[in-house]
Amino acid sequence: MAVEPVMPKSWRLESKPHKFCPGCGHGIALKALGLAIDELGIQDRTVFGCDIGCSLLAWDFFNMDTVQTHHGRTTPVIYGVKRANPELICIAYMGDGGGYAIGAQHLVNAAARNELITVVLVNNTQYAMTGGQMAPTTLPGQKTETTPYGRDVLTAGYPMRGPEMIAEITPDGAYVARGTVARSRQLGNMLVRALENQLSGRGFSFVEVLATCPTNWRTNAQQTWSFLENTVENYYPVGELKIPLSDPEEEM
């Protein structure tokens, strides 16, 4: 008997199957986000913003109000929406280029100001839509289109550890975590807690999602998961980096 796939209620079914490559991590991240939105029952009051890059393929993913922004500008567009109507739940969805390169100034300042939004940033260690060039998250020694001999940290610097930085610059009340598409249930719990942080008015919430890009990694299925779980997760530890002091679960 065929098993029917479970689709989040907040997904827009007419736009499925989605447009990502087979094996892409975005679909898993967006499913975890959709299920988190379903669990909290916030679909009717949520605004979803997505960036340029492969994350823009999420523009028709949800049956919710959605805006697709200029590259790197998803964070300020989304906190502009939030400031205009604080009753809305506002989510900014982007890749590592949009958040840590062209949009880094917006992300840093929104985090430092403790803007009441939720940022979900997909880290697949390179610029995916443009063909796999080095990004701020490319690992030391990792080969990309622009680092054919591997990233040399002496000339290209070290990768950016976004959640670690954001945990340092945010005030108490922020929620910061790093999840992985290899553990979607854990990722889903992080996304629920991030959205709850916004719902409760505690502060900024940020979840980085380690994700697969077999197209640009040039890996088969086994190599893809091995690279994610054994190499990427080793460099970028998964877990919660900052939990609000007033988090009810921590007080238990």
Provide the token pair at 229. Answer: 């779980």
Quick one: how far is CA 213 from the chain centroid? 14
Please state the closest distance from residue 97 (CB atom) to ligand SF4, in A.
11
Q: Is 44 exposed, middle or buried (0-12, 13-18, 19+ CB in 10 A)?
A: exposed
Let me know the angle formed at the C-alpha of 119 by 98 and 100, rounded to the nearest 5 degrees: 30
Nearest to 236 by CA among 100, 133, 104, 129: 100
Q: Is the peptide bond between 17 and the residue preceding it cis, with omega within 30 degrees of 0?
A: yes
Q: Examine residue 21 and tell whether it contacts ligand SF4 (CB under 6 A).
A: yes
In the complex with ligand SF4, the residue whose CB is nearer, 118 or 124, is: 124
Provide the token pair at 34. Answer: 């959709």
Count of residues in contact with ligand SF4, rule CB under 6 A? 12
Please state the closest distance from residue 81 (CB atom) to ligand SF4, in A.
26
Quick one: how far is CA 235 from the chain centroid? 17
In the complex with ligand SF4, the residue whose CB is nearer, 24 or 241, is: 24
For 242, residues 6+ apart whose C-beta sits below 8 A from its C-beta are 166, 167, 170, 174, 175, 176, 177
Among 26, 151, 161, 178, binds ligand SF4 (CB under 6 A): 26
Among 124, 125, 184, 198, binds ligand SF4 (CB under 6 A): 124
The span from the CA of 191 to the CA of 171, in Å, is 19
In the complex with ligand SF4, the residue whose CB is nearer, 78 or 228, is: 228
Among 134, 176, 213, 232, binds ligand SF4 (CB under 6 A): 213
Q: Examine residue 61 and tell whether it contacts ligand SF4 (CB under 6 A).
A: no
Among 129, 160, 169, 243, binds ligand SF4 (CB under 6 A): 129
Please state the closest distance from residue 45 (CB atom) to ligand SF4, in A.
29
Q: Examine residue 228 and tell whether it contacts ligand SF4 (CB under 6 A).
A: no
In the complex with ligand SF4, the residue whose CB is nearer, 221 or 245, is: 221
Catalog residues that contact ligand SF4 under the rule CB under 6 A: 20-21, 24, 26, 54, 124, 128-129, 213-216
